[in-house]
Amino acid sequence: MRDLLMIPGPVEFEQEVLQALGAPSYGHTDPAFIAIFGRALKRLRDVSLAPGAQPFVVSGSGTLAMELAVANLVEPGDAALVVNTGYFSDRMAKILERHGAKVTHVRAPPGDAPTVEEVETHLKRGGFKVMTVTHVDTSTGVLTPVEGLSRVARELGVLSVVDGVCATAGESFHQDAWGADVYLTASQKAVGVPPGLALLTVGPRALEAWKKRRVPVASVYSDWAEWLPIMEAYEAGKPAYFATPPVNLVCALDVSLGQILAEGLEARFARHQRLARAFRAAWSGLGLRMLPVSEAVTANTLSAVYYPEGVDASLVGRVKAEGVVVAGGLHPDLKARYFRVGHMNRVGPADLLTTVGAVERALRAAGHRCEPGAGLAAAEASLTAR
């Protein structure tokens, strides 16, 4: 029997999405596929709540989505501010530096996020072209105040790039209303599609900055100039070619985005929040402490939880022996001290209770003292509370 996959991506996927992935392939210029791709592009714009943005769907990982944003907006010598909340903020800085940016970090201790006021103070010193924010850092489970950060960057004339890989379709985000210039993500988390797609919605200010570049984009594959005509053609119902798209993944994306929009974005955000609260209640009931330092900076798409005293990283294997796959730590300073549980996309109460039960049994087998059933009782109480 297959284990329940409860890591922060890839996640459990809807059967209809997997059926689309396993269906016979279309040719990439087949009229039927052109219609599907065009619809997926429109739906991506809707999911980002960005009616004025240009969507991009490109074969690749979330890291490619990060590079697709940076490579087109940054030129050698440009100043960039990284709002740093963990491992993937560091990765964004590495990409910025590789493309010639001069990077300044605004950091918080692991488990916390810089405040809007701290970031605003740095931005007001002037000279920054780009600010990057990790909406939810998968390494720490930290949620940033992305609305306030996007708004202050817009007010100060700085382009904002928001990494939504572990947030899109799970955490509240309103790209146009909040003034974010680029929202990037990947397919394998709350978007609900197996790994392999880099996704962006690029606003008018970012496109205008790209058009004013002084030097060509260094990477051919990452250059919006190669991809923009393709995206525009597919959305207009016309064939186009630069590189062969991952046909079945695009079909699966169209199905998943349709399901997300049918659920309703606000309802989906609320569902993720409700489940996350129940998970947090369960961890507390088991006597566990989370890595995020406060409710305000705690993500709804995953839990990052410290091992209790006397329990080490072998807990991850013990949980798997109970039929549930969770992830170990990732932040380089803390990776041996905590584990992570993903709870996004199709995850529901049954998955939650199965996971909490597996973690509780694994903890008790590892020697942790907790009241039998305490985690499950706390989760159920949270789920039924009004």
Binding residues: 340
What are the beta bridge partners of residue 102?
79
User: Three-state SS for 168?
Assistant: coil
Give, as one character, the DSSP assignment of residue 140.
T
> Helices 116-123 and 146-155 meet at what angle, rounded to 10?
20
User: Is the previous residue joined to 245 through a cis bond, with omega within 30 degrees of 0?
Assistant: no
- Do residues 259 and 192 make contact, with C-beta atoms less than 8 angstroms apart? yes
3-state helix, strand, coil in the chain (%, to 5): 45, 15, 40
Q: From the annotation, which residues make up the binding site for substrate?
A: 340
166 to 61, 135, 139, 189: CA distances (angstroms) = 12, 7, 10, 6
Tell me whether strands 338-342 and 302-306 are parallel, antiparallel or unpaired. Answer: antiparallel
Q: Where does 286-372 have alpha helices with state H?
A: 315-321, 349-365
The sign of the torsion formed by the CA atoms of 189, 193, 197, 199 equals negative
Cα(244)–Cα(27) distance, integer angstroms:
9
Q: Using only C-alpha atoms, what is the Rg of the chain? A: 21
